[in-house]
Amino acid sequence: MQTLTITQPDDWHLHVRTGDMLKTVINHTARQCARAIIMPNLQPPVTNVEQAFHYQQEIQQATESQYDFTPLMVLYLTNETSPEDVKKAAEADFVQAFKLYPAGATTNSAQGVTDLQALFPTIAAMEKYDVPLLIHGEVTDADIDIFDRERLFIETKLSLLQKTFPNLRIVLEHVTTKDAVDFVMSASDKIAATITPQHLLYNRNAILVGGIKPHYYCLPILKRETHRLALVEAATSGNSKFFLGTDSAPHLSHLKENSCGCAGCYSAYATIELYAEVFDQANSLDKLEGFASFYGADFYQLPRNNKIITLEKIDWQVPAHYAVAEQQLTPLKAGETLHWKLKV
């Protein structure tokens, strides 16, 4: 049997929620990953060090004791976040970064930032204290086409941020376009990007051809095939600016299969298997370890993991759903066959 042994991966972009949902999803990630960057878009959002401390404790309590897993906490940037808040975050070793959600860009982003330039003193403090800024890179203007929102964010907002704060470490999260890939590649080594499994595996036809398929609906939305190909090339190139971030974003099945369905794909149940699928198809399995286990840790200036994991090339069927208390969560690729399996 073909096997692949690599250093244990980390997930540099993950939503785990709270309560019953947290209890289901956190152990899926903890089985695979040593660490994960935990997104702060709860209701209410995690905006300060104290809230992040309590949320980290809740996550640790929900994690089964057999796993050695560290949740890395992130604070949600609002119009009220001050340079003093940034200083406190820099001093808290369990907080890694701030997350910028343009207001209205995605799930639970209502308290996000409405005027980026008004926050420049706060962003200057991030540059000064070397706290990374993680960015949901989409403009939110109602008159801008949903497929153009990432490209326009880069042209109008990210370019300005980069010029104004050349030493700020930035992760452009869940990149979905060739435009984003080109921007990150030509930027300084202070700018990196995460790439999700769904944006590597699918183009926008997955959502719309043969009926509306809500489980492929996430933000930023899937794009054309040319963009998917650019993402696969970036992820499998061995370029250390691109690393693993699933953006696994669980929503109960009935809230996605709805006349106004929620945005987010649930992929954490098979983090490394889904990426292995992509890298195998691209004949680049030798590049998986750098992408999944090295480049993110290096960018965050954290040690690489010591443990190793082994994947076996064997078919297995993804469950139709996972239980969340009495309710259901439908995973990406529900009922389909995956070809790589994590050995436990």
Q: Of these partners, Zn ion, ligand NCD, none, which one is at the site of residue 264 (CB under 5 to 8 Å by kind)?
A: ligand NCD
Shortest distance (Å) from residue 311 CB to ligand NCD: 25
Question: Which run of H or E residues covers position 309?
Answer: strand 308-317
Q: Of these partners, ligand NCD, Zn ion, none, which one is at the site of residue 24 (CB under 5 to 8 Å by kind)?
A: none
Residue (of 256, 229, 281) closest to 332 by Cα position: 256
Residues composing the chain? 344
> Between 188 and 227, how does the x/- string for binding to Zn ion read (CB under 5 A)?
----------------------------------------
Q: How many Cα atoms are found within 13 Å in the side-chain-facing hemisphere of 37? A: 26
Shortest distance (Å) from residue 121 CB to ligand NCD: 26
Please give the structure tokens belonging to residue 211. Answer: 């009926």
What 3-state class would DSSP assign to 1?
coil
* Residue 263 found at the interface with ligand NCD (CB under 6 A): yes
* Residue 34 found at the interface with ligand NCD (CB under 6 A): no
Residue (of 21, 10, 6, 132) closest to 69 by Cα position: 10
Strands 322-324 and 327-329 come out as antiparallel
SS (H, E, C) 60-79: HHHCCCCCCCEEEEEEECCC
* Residue 136 found at the interface with ligand NCD (CB under 6 A): yes
In terms of CB distance, is 169 or 215 closer to ligand NCD?
A: 215
* Residue 106 found at the interface with ligand NCD (CB under 6 A): yes
* Residue 149 found at the interface with ligand NCD (CB under 6 A): no
Task: Tell me how far apart the alpha carbons of residues 142 and 129 are, in angstroms, rounded to a whole number.
Answer: 35
In terms of CB distance, is 113 or 311 closer to Zn ion?
A: 113
The single residue of 10, 85, 179, 247 carrying the catalytic annotation is 247
Which spans of this chain sit near ligand NCD (rule: CB under 6 A)? 15, 41, 106-107, 136, 218-219, 247, 249, 263-264
Active site residues: 247
